[in-house]
Structure 1
């Protein structure tokens, strides 16, 4: 019965667009909340590989001109200092909406795959449970990518650091899987959304269109290092956790990150 309720809820969410915010406000239902206040990093926690929790190594995460910015202008070169900026509280059932763009050049030493690469890390382990030299949190990554001058490169893909999912009823252990989105090049702003319903289903949307769906999220696989083995539990359902954005060596800006919490049933 719960799964059936979720399907009805999703049908309404995917079809209502911005009207959902207006009707929610008018009916006294939960409203969209801005996770980024446009002024500073209040409400966020920083964890960069090799640095203690809260150490904003080389001022990687900052606010510039009202935009949350991942910057590398204080780096001489990148030495796998993968970073994550965690919102301070966990969530389970919600819609997360954001606008992002890639800017400038990738820092010297950044891996080729990290060119115009960032992500929204969903159902993350807590920042406090991250190992000092852990590269990526156990989570589900809604991967955002920018295209180069030639070739196709979708955005809002799925990567699975320490996690596995089902797609169309099939258990998948691939680390990264492509969405059906078009390629976004240059420094243009892109609006994306994630609809997250516990460990039941997650949808990725780009400019209002659903481009990826997966279900039955759980811990598993690999693609992470330096983690505390006590935090990792093979096969454990992933139904809640923290939200984080990445710093993987390419400058990125966010001008909106907002959430609408949903009822779990």
Structure 2
């Protein structure tokens, strides 16, 4: 009789321990936030150095046909007013004309920290045929196979003239020029993961920043964005 009672109790105890262990490692997603409302640039501000000397300089960021458009010039950044951490960011973008350069900057903080232009951050590259590269901007991150993907260690750095580029894991994940691409960026603690059109193209850890603003670039090429959505991620713990 005692054995019959003890066995069910042990089974219940094991289930409770397993559930507790799972809870400590699980994450949940909160309600998705659209960072672009399709009508104007509410929630964002521009930082375009050329406007310092000439306030009448045209902005590089507009809303056109329900899309957020980076015109490419004058060069600068469109930056969220709010700071974020632990999230999944979904961006749908395309180069409607000539291929060129652009990027999504995460964990952005001090403005114009590099070349008197780029905010301190980690850039997820969107340059045509290079989508998913990391460029470190007065921040840093570690990836597997660092030497293979970043070059000789003595050349690494986070400032002007140093090797700040970390190659992505795969080329060929982008759709043909003019078609829409989906980029997913996931930040959780000091880790950073990137997917392009469903392919995981980069993964880093030991990031020197874990929170900050999000920025879009104007870097010489016109880019259209039809979706910029953020879903907060919360780690479950005791």
TM-score range, shorter chain: 0.7 to 0.9
Displacement of 1:161: 1.6
Query: Does structure 1 residue 119 correspond to structure 2 residue 112?
Result: no
Unpaired segments ≥5 residues, structure 1: 13-23, 73-77, 106-114, 147-152, 219-237
From 167, 177, 187, the equivalent of 1:178 is: 167
Contact 1:125 1:242 survives alignment (8 Å) = yes
**Counterpart mapping for 1:24-103 below 5 A:** 30-52=30-52, 57-71=57-71, 81-103=74-96
**Structure possessing the higher relative contact order (Cα contacts under 8 Å, 6 or more residues apart):** 2
In the aligned structure 1, how far is the partner of 2:182 from the partner of 2:145? 28
Cα gap change, 1:240/1:86 in structure 2, threshold over 3 Å: closer, same or farther? same
Query: Does structure 1 residue 194 correspond to structure 2 residue 185?
Result: yes
TM-score (structure 2 length as normaliser): 0.74
Displacement of 1:216: 0.7
In the aligned structure 1, how far is the partner of 2:222 from the partner of 2:204? 29
Cα gap change, 1:103/1:5 in structure 2, threshold over 3 Å: closer, same or farther? farther
Partner of 1:235: none
| Offset from partner CA, 1:42-66 (integer Å, 9 cap, x none) | 11010012324xx684131000000
Contact 2:60 2:75 survives alignment (8 Å) = no
Partner of 1:168: 144
Query: Does structure 1 residue 262 correspond to structure 2 residue 217?
Result: no
Aligned pairs, number: 199
Contact 1:181 1:206 survives alignment (8 Å) = no
Contact 2:50 2:57 survives alignment (8 Å) = no
Displacement of 1:181: 3.7
Cα gap change, 1:203/1:159 in structure 2, threshold over 3 Å: closer, same or farther? same
Runs of 4+ in 1 over 4 A off after TM superposition: 4-9, 169-172
SS in 2 for 1:51: helix
Cα gap change, 1:264/1:47 in structure 2, threshold over 3 Å: closer, same or farther? farther
Larger-gyration structure (1/2): 2
Contact 1:137 1:161 survives alignment (8 Å) = yes
SS in 1 for 2:41: coil
From 121, 145, 153, the equivalent of 2:127 is: 145
